[in-house]
């Protein structure tokens, strides 16, 4: 079984994230999306297991979100749902991190809130997509050893094959591109010193990504007083 390496990260031309996509999270929030929605994260947000992520000085709300990540293996353009899974090379675990205060201040834009360096850790192992069942993958997230998220891809509102097929109708998915498929209920805030872990397991084969491990650190450099931070603090 291969691991996520720096070469894996550098091969990602696009990082595409799917918003609310788990039934459990929709029930928790009391709203069910009628269709999937997407946003981009910069490839520079990708990082390896065992690293750190910084919560900027002056901000208090950094949230985590364990996700099943897909890595495209072959060019996908105008593919059908039936053929979509064949374009995926690997499955791994991801942690989609967000600065909630900036997300609120930006009123719809997620770039500053989710695009920071290290805000999309991937790993630890890569699961061969041809060997796993995309509808039964188990996703778990821990904070300081306590389980906070526990769901399976059977709980997705919009199936993985549908996501790949839809995206491929309007853009070419290239080898190395990363797709984040959404997070279940249980996402919450973390603080400096917290350790976050995410794993994906295929119960049919017993194969696992192992635990993707990231630690939160405290930033020492405050954000500028203009822009989103100024809005958050009423300046």
Measured over the CA atoms of residue 152, residue 155, residue 160 and residue 163, the dihedral's sign is: negative
Query: Which pLDDT belongs to residue 28?
Result: 82
Whole-model pTM: value is: 0.94
Helix (H) or strand (E) holding 179: strand 178-180
* CATH number of residue 59's parent domain: 3.90.850.10
Q: Is the peptide bond before 172 cis (omega within 30 degrees of 0)?
A: no
Domain-embedded: residue 1? no
Q: How many domains, in total, are found in the chain? A: 1
Domain of residue 44 covers 6-232
Q: Nearest CA to 99 among 85, 115, 83?
A: 115
Q: What is the pLDDT of residues 56-92, one digit of tens each?
A: 999 999 999 999 999 999 999 999 999 999 999 999 9
Q: Which two tokens stand for residue 180?
A: 């984040």
Alpha carbon 139 to its chain centroid, in Å, reads 12
Task: Classify 29 as helix, strand or coil.
Answer: helix
Residue 16 lies in a domain: yes
Residues 6 or more apart whose CB falls under 8 angstroms from that of 98 comprise 62, 63, 65, 110, 113, 114, 119
Which two structure tokens, joined as six digits, stand for 50?
A: 């065992």
Question: Is a pLDDT exceeding 50 seen at residue 24?
Answer: yes
Does 32 reside within a domain?
A: yes
> Looking at the domain assignment, is residue 218 inside a domain?
yes
Tell me which DSSP letter residue 119 carries. S
Radius of gyration of the chain (CA): 17
C-alpha distances in Å from residue 131, one per residue of 28, 92, 208? 32, 13, 12
DSSP SS3 for 201:
strand
pLDDT score at 144: 98
Residue pLDDT, tens place only, 133-148: 999 999 999 999 999 9
Mean pLDDT, the chain, as a whole number? 93
DSSP of 30-67: T---SS--EEEE-GGGEEETTEEEEEEET---EE--EE
- Identify whether 228 is part of a domain: yes
Give the model's pLDDT for residue 232.
Answer: 47
């Amino acid at each position: 079984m291969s691991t996520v390496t720096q070469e894996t990260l550098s091969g990602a031309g696009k990082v595409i994230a799917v918003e609310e996509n788990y039934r459990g999270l929709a029930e928790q929030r009391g709203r069910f999306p009628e269709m999937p929605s997407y946003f981009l994260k910069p490839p520079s947000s990708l990082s390896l297991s065992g690293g750190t992520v910084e919560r900027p000085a002056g901000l208090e709300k950094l949230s985590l979100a364990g996700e099943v990540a897909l890595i495209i293996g072959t060019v996908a353009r105008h593919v059908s749902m039936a053929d979509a899974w064949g374009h995926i090379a690997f499955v791994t675990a991801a942690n989609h991190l967000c600065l909630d205060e900036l997300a609120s201040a930006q009123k719809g834009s997620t770039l500053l809130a989710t695009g920071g360096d290290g805000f999309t850790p991937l790993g630890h192992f890569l699961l061969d997509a041809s060997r796993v069942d995309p509808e039964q993958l188990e996703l778990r997230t821990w904070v300081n050893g306590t389980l906070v998220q526990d769901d399976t891809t059977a709980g997705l509102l919009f199936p993985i094959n549908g996501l790949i097929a839809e995206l491929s109708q309007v853009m070419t998915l290239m080898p190395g591109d990363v797709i984040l498929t959404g997070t279940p209920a249980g996402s919450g805030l973390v603080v400096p010193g917290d350790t976050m872990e995410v794993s994906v397991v295929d119960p049919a084969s017993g194969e696992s990504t192992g635990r993707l491990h990231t630690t939160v650190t405290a930033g020492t450099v405050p954000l500028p007083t203009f822009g989103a931070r100024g809005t958050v603090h009423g300046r």
